[in-house]
Amino acid sequence: MAQGYGLVGAMDEVGRGSVFGPCCVGLVVIDAGIGAPPGALRDSKLLNERAREALVAPIHAWVLDHAVGEASAGEVDDFGLTAALRLAGRRALAQLRRLPDVVVLDGSYDWLGDAGATFIGPVYPDVDVPVVRTRVKADVSCASVAAASVLAKVHRDRLVRLSAREFPGYGLEDNKGYATAAHMAALRQLGPSPQHRQTWHLPSREGA
């Protein structure tokens, strides 16, 4: 804001390292007049599930606008993780009532901005991508990025819990799609479901 930007977007992703389900990108928009953030707000990885859920309503009340974009496991397989994150991030941007002037992106790499031409790639939403500013550990040092991470984490966890009913036996309600030892053992026994990321070197099904 000190650099002259009026509306500031903050963005963070979850599900990057999962072997199951979508990657999701949270996005919030703030300006200089929004006031102090919710006192309990932290990076989603520093909060337990109950604390994250309790923060959703206060975050919605604090920010000017918010969205979560998704890219499916199939899109991760088809286009690669970076393109899938870009797709999810732009889907989040497309949901906003008004685009921010700049987006603060957690990390050191701008995966939201323009990519080089490829023969096979997703069809991105027709949305103008704002100026991007990357910031390492922004989810820890920047309240708006922490808010985006919480919204994305809660959204994705809810999706995976619903998937656990459709695909029982993998322990998704507990591991949220990440590669725990129990999850890997279930994959060896059951093989992958249609929502597993098939290109992620999953263990082979025993006896297959």
**Which DSSP string do the residues of 111-177 spell out, in sequence order?**
-SS-----SS-----S----EEEEETTHHHH-HHHHHHHHHHHHHHHHHHHHHHHHSTTS-HHHHTT
Report, as an integer, the average pLDDT of 41-62: 92
Q: Which pLDDT score is estimated for 116?
A: 64
Count of CB atoms within 10 A of residue 96's CB?
Answer: 18
Is 33 within a domain? Answer: yes
Whether 30 has a pLDDT exceeding 80, the answer reads: yes
Report the number of distinct structural domains present in the chain: 1
Confidence tier at 208 by pLDDT (50, 70, 90) = low
pLDDT at 120: 74
Asked if pLDDT for residue 150 goes beyond 90, the answer is: yes
Residue pLDDT, tens place only, 15-28 = 999 999 999 999 99
* The pLDDT of residue 86: 96
Which three-class secondary structure string do you get for 84-108?
HHHHHHHHHHHCCCCCCCEEEEEEC
Give the integer Cα–Cα distance in Å for 93 and 91: 5
Answer yes or no: is 164 within a domain: no
Does a structural domain hold residue 204? no
Does residue 183 lie within any of the structural domains?
no
Q: Is residue 57 part of a domain?
A: yes
Question: CATH code at 142?
Answer: 3.30.420.10
Range of 21's domain?
Answer: 8-159
Mean pLDDT of the region 72-88: 96
Does residue 179 lie in a domain region? no
> What's the rounded mean pLDDT across residues 168-186?
96
Query: Does 27 reside within a domain?
Result: yes
The string of pLDDT tens digits covering residues 92-122 is 999 999 999 999 999 999 999 977 656 677 9
pLDDT at res. 119? 62
What average pLDDT does the segment 201-207 reach?
86
